[in-house]
């Protein structure tokens, strides 16, 4: 393991790095309309997880194919993990910054209220790191990183579950 200059921990060379970052809760760090948007997103997630949980119970009871149950379970677990992160992270940690790591259970309390916290991402796989050639249109000479997103295990769970559904949809949904 090698600790980099930005507080990153290189696990396997330069292509698997633990990189602490917080996002506002949407994919790829996108924001959704300030405090009202954050609450709307949180409520939508809770409703979606309840619906996914109901559907999961239904397909388990009907003894649907194992792959379908597995994929829906992965999506459910990932969504629930992100909800828990968003719901409680802001309550039990203070604000982090570029040169300051969050503190668990600070005496002054967390940086936000219930359902207004950020989601922590930490897995970073910059497989290829380089520059676009100067002749390349629009981005010529700029930095290029293949697979730039930083994500967490919950995001991975959702992605794998959706990928399984897409890959085996004809087998799972014969009707």
Measured between alpha carbons, how far is 22 from 14 in angstroms, rounded to an integer?
21
If you search the block for the tokens 């200059």, which residue do you land on?
5
**Residue 102: which of 115, 114, 85 has the closest Cα?**
85
Residue 40: its pLDDT value, please? Answer: 84
Tokens standing for residue 112:
């936000």
User: CB of 92 within 8 A of CB of 110?
Assistant: yes
Residue 63: its pLDDT value, please? Answer: 93
Residue 21: its pLDDT value, please? Answer: 79
Q: Is the dihedral of CA 70, 48, 24, 84 positive or negative?
A: negative
Give pLDDT tens digits along the chain (175 positions). Answer: 444 445 678 887 777 888 887 887 666 566 677 777 788 888 888 999 999 999 999 999 999 999 999 999 999 999 999 899 888 888 888 877 666 777 788 888 878 888 878 888 888 888 888 888 889 888 888 888 888 788 889 989 999 999 999 999 999 888 7
Residue 3: its pLDDT value, please? Answer: 47
Measured between alpha carbons, how far is 149 from 49 in angstroms, rounded to an integer?
24
Centre a 10 Å sphere on the Cβ of residue 64 and count the other Cβ atoms it contains.
15
User: CB of 123 within 8 A of CB of 14?
Assistant: no
Tell me the domain boundaries of the chain.
Answer: 2-172
Residue 54: its pLDDT value, please? Answer: 97
User: Coil, strand or helix: which one is 11?
Assistant: strand
Residue 2: its pLDDT value, please? Answer: 46
- Enzyme catalytic residues: 121, 155
């Amino acid at each position: 393991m090698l600790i980099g200059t930005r507080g990153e921990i290189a696990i396997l060379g330069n292509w698997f790095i633990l990189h602490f970052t917080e996002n506002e809760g949407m994919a790829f760090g996108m924001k959704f309309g300030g405090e009202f948007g954050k609450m709307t997103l949180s409520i939508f997630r809770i409703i979606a997880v309840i619906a996914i949980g109901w559907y999961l119970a239904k397909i388990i009871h009907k003894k649907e194919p194992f792959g379908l149950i597995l994929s829906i379970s992965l999506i459910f677990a990932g969504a629930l993990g992100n909800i828990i992160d968003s719901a409680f992270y802001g309550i039990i940690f203070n604000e982090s910054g570029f040169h300051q790591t969050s503190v668990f259970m600070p005496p002054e309390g967390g940086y936000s209220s219930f359902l207004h916290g950020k989601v922590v991402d930490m897995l970073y796989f910059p497989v290829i790191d380089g520059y676009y050639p100067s002749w390349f249109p629009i981005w010529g000479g700029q930095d290029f990183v293949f697979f730039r997103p930083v994500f967490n295990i919950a995001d991975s769970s959702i992605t794998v579950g959706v990928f399984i559904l897409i890959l085996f949809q004809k087998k799972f949904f014969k009707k």
